[in-house]
Amino acid sequence: MWRRDAAGVFLEQHDTVSKLLNLKSKGVQVFYVAGNHDYHVLDLHNPAYPQQFTNELNLTDGPVNYRFVHGYQFDPEQKVPFMAFLCRVMSDQGGALESNIWTDFNSLNNIFSKMEPSFIKSDIGAITKRLHQPPEDRLKGSLDKINQTACNAIKPGEVLIFGHTHVPFINKAENVANSGSWVKDSAIHNTYVELTGGKPRLFVFGGQEITERTESSQPQPGSSLTSSIRKLTHI
């Protein structure tokens, strides 16, 4: 969505949006937590909208607080000014133009130079090059760091749920869960988190539960989680 006309994207996904609104009409609460590719929806504020957009969602269940974020907050390469630039004032035509010049970093120097000093100090050229890669490839070297940052962000009595990395996991303390991805290019996909009694559970849609608990999002060869993944991919 960051190089697309937002209205066009929602129209193309009319079937999915209709299903979500149908759930809402039946009394099911539906929330939209924005991510790095649709950051611009946070600027949409109108009581008439059937859906409200948020950067962070907190829901309580007794003494437990569930906090939902997309997860770009834990990624050191995801800078808010950069995301805002990509997501705002975009259209299908403008997005196509931006895509054509995207790899020519020098042509964007004037735009990047207007961003905040903390962002200028980053290796922007390397970051923009990596942003071309699928998340599964781009984040290989930083998955553990992202997950550790998420675990360090936990507050007492809280369960944190995020995504972004496309790699599902639940930590050993069972207070941090990554819901994974529905992108079919991911090794493990169609995963979701279910929250019951203050504990997260991780499932493959239409398949089995992933019961392995780990501090790392990258299962090692031969691990029980890797074996479970192999079985799940054949379901």
Q: How many CA atoms lie within 13 A of 208 on its CB side?
A: 14
Q: Kindly state the tokens that stand for 175.
A: 């207070």
The parts of the chain modelled with pLDDT lower than 70 are 1-2, 88-91, 94-136, 138-141, 216-235
Judged by DSSP in three states, 106 sits in: helix
d(CA 38, CA 6): 8
pLDDT digits over 156-187, tens only?
999 999 999 999 999 999 999 999 988 887 78
Structure confidence at residue 204 (pLDDT): 95
Q: Which are the contacts of 77, defined by CB distance < 8 A and separation ≥ 6? A: 122, 127, 130, 131, 142
State the pLDDT at residue 115. 56
pLDDT reported for residue 96: 66
Q: Which two tokens stand for residue 58?
A: 């907190």
What is the C-alpha separation between 222 and 160, in angstroms, rounded?
Answer: 28
Predicted pLDDT at 58: 97
What is the model's pTM? 0.74
Instruction: Confirm if 39 and 61 have CB atoms less than 8 A apart.
Output: no
Distant-in-sequence, close-in-space partners of 43: CB < 8 Å, separation ≥ 6: 88
